């Protein structure tokens, strides 16, 4: 067994300091998790590396998760840090196949933040919690010196109840599974980038931020044998698929021509040289279900749902995409965030 060690497992020569890229959902963040965090707290429950942990108490199963929200700007088209803080945690619970029940709510506020701003965020948290049918039951407030926080950071943790016997995890994905998503890709990331950088396009791109428990529970109630679910947040669809390919040891193949991406999002990505496959979503998930149940699953998820690929067994732990001109290529995780290109 591994012993407690005082020396840092990530060689200082690699990264003597934490970089922004360590929080991007890409490879650097995974290195940090794999080398520094997961082995330190080795637990069979966290071994699945899912969006939340599944806990068993006296025969009943609960899902437990936590998330922190550091978005800038605090308000953006289609949502704000408050709606994100509710939906982000609700969605992590939903990805465990749980019915979200209770959330905690912790604020880290920067001295000088207008009370009006805090009030607006609290109101939108209330509305989002109502929409997602969860209760805020505990919380905390801390205030840091002016200049030590970006106005407001929020942490939420959540508990949900699992009312079925399915195991939903990357290792449950099977050869022949259909890969489904619940709607168009890339809107949240582009909405944030446009708001942050003051980029204006002909139309306003609104975040897709939304609670996902309802479509997931409909899937399960319809009797679909759900193998794996993942919300496609930081790092976008590509990073979620790479994680699941690694976790399942299978080959995930998607058809780029089938990916629903709105024209305004595609245009903005073209201009900035970004690949929508890596752009963040806040109301989109990928579901792995047996191909024979794909039709039923798409109907249960509802409007916008589409099959984008299949699971193959001819290679281990990789993702490929068929390009618009019919040639296959590898889809890998990025190191850090996508950066707009020069020209």
Partner 1 sequence: MRYVDEYRDARAVHKYAELLAKLTTRPWTLMEICGGQTHAILRFGIDALLPPQITLLHGPGCPVCVTPSELIDKALEIAMQPNMIFTSFGDMWRVPGSRGDLLSCKARGADVRMVYSPLDALKLAQRQPEKQVVFFAVGFETTAPASAMAVYQAAKLGVTNFSILVSHVLVPPAIEVILSAEGNRVQAFLAAGHVCTVMGYTEYEPLAAKYRVPFVVTGFEPLDIIEGIYMAVKQLEEGRAEVENQYARAVRREGNAGAIALIREVFEVVPRKWRGIGEIPNSGLGLRAAYAAFDAEKRFGAARYTAEESGECISGLILQGAKKPSECPAFGTRCTPERPLGATMVSSEGACAAYYRYRLHSVSQTGTT
Q: Which chain residues interact with partner 1 by CB under 8 A?
A: 14-15, 17-21, 27-28, 31, 197, 199, 263, 266-267, 270, 272-273, 315, 318, 323-330, 332, 334-336, 339-343
Taking the complex as a whole, how short is the minimal distance between the CB of residue 189 and partner 1, in angstroms? Answer: 14
User: Do 287 and 301 meet the contact criterion of CB atoms below 8 Å apart?
Assistant: yes
Whichever of 90 and 241 has its CB closer to partner 1, that residue is: 241
Per the CB < 8 A criterion, the answer to whether 211 and 285 are in contact is no
Query: Of 220 and 321, which has the nearer Cβ to partner 1?
Result: 321
Question: Among residues 290 and 336, whose Cβ is nearest to partner 1?
Answer: 336
Which residue(s) pair with 66 in the sheet? 157
Query: What's the min distance (Å) between Cβ of 129 and partner 1?
Result: 35
Least spacing, CB of residue 234 vs partner 1, in Å: 17
Place of tokens 């995930």: 252
Residue carrying the six token digits 């998607």: 254
* Least distance in angstroms from the C-beta of 199 to partner 1: 7
Q: Pick the closer one to partner 1 by CB: 31 or 171.
A: 31
CB closer to partner 1, 76 vs 278: 278
Token pair, residue 225, equals 């044998």
Tell me the closest approach of the beta carbon of residue 120 to partner 1, in angstroms.
Answer: 26
CB of 79 to partner 1, least distance (A): 23
The residue among 86 and 321 lying less far from partner 1, judged by its C-beta, is 321
Task: From 247, 265, 139, 261, select the one nearest 192 (Cα to Cα).
Answer: 265
Nearer to partner 1 by Cβ, of 116 and 263: the residue is: 263
| CA 153, 90, 259, 29 torsion-angle sign | positive
Task: Determine how many CB atoms are found less than 10 A away from the CB of residue 51.
Answer: 23
Q: Which is nearer to partner 1, 7 or 17 (CB)?
A: 17
Laid out side by side, the sheet with 306-312 consists of 228-231, 285-290, 177-181, 306-312, 251-255, 318-322, 328-331
Nearer to partner 1, 28 or 217 (CB): 28
Closest approach, Cβ 218 to partner 1, in A, equals 33
Q: SS3 for 65?
A: strand
DSSP assignment letter at 204: P
Q: Identify the three-state secondary structure at position 19.
A: coil
Alpha helices per DSSP H over the chain: 27-32, 81-94, 115-132, 187-197, 213-221, 236-248, 263-272, 294-301
Tell me the closest approach of the beta carbon of residue 257 to partner 1, in angstroms: 8
- Provide CB contacts within 8 A for 206, sequence distance 6+: 77, 78, 187, 191
Q: Which residues of 91-130 are buried (b: 16+ CB within 10 A; e: fewer)?
A: bbbbbbbbbbbebbbbbbbbeebeeebbebbeebbeebbe
Nearest distance, CB of residue 203 and partner 1, angstroms: 13
Rounded distance between C-alpha atoms, residue 269 and residue 299, angstroms: 30
């Amino acid at each position: 067994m591994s012993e407690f060690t005082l020396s840092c497992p990530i060689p200082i020569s690699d990264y003597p300091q934490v970089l922004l890229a360590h929080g991007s959902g890409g490879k650097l963040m995974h290195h940090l998790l794999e080398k520094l965090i997961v082995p330190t707290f080795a637990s069979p429950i966290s071994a699945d590396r899912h969006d939340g942990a599944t806990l068993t108490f006296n025969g009943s199963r609960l899902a437990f998760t936590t998330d922190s929200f550091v978005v800038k700007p605090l308000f953006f088209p289609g949502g704000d840090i408050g709606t994100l803080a509710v939906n982000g945690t609700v969605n992590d619970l939903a990805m465990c196949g749980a019915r979200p029940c209770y959330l905690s709510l912790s604020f880290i506020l920067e001295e000088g933040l207008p009370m009006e701003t805090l009030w607006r965020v609290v109101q939108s948290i209330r509305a989002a919690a109502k929409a997602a049918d969860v209760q805020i039951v505990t919380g905390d407030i801390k205030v840091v010196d002016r200049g030590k926080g970006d106005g407001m950071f929020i942490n939420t943790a959540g508990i949900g109840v699992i009312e079925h016997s399915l195991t939903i995890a990357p290792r449950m994905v099977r050869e022949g599974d259909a890969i489904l998503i619940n709607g168009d890709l890339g809107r949240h990331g582009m909405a944030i980038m446009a708001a942050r950088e003051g980029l204006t396009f002909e139309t306003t791109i609104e975040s897709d931020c939304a609670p996902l428990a309802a479509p997931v529970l409909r899937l399960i109630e319809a009797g679909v044998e759900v193998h794996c679910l993942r919300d496609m947040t930081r790092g976008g669809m590509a990073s979620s698929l790479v994680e699941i390919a690694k976790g399942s040891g299978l080959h995930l193949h998607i058809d780029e021509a089938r990916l629903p991406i709105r024209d305004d999002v595609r245009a903005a990505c073209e201009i900035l040289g970004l690949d929508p496959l890596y752009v963040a979503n806040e109301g989109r998930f990928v579901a792995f279900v047996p191909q024979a149940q794909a039709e039923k699953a798409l109907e249960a998820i509802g409007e916008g749902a589409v099959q984008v690929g299949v699971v193959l067994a001819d290679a281990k732990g990789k993702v490929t995409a068929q390009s618009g001109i019919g040639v296959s290529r590898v889809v890998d995780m990025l190191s850090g965030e996508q950066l707009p290109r020069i020209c």
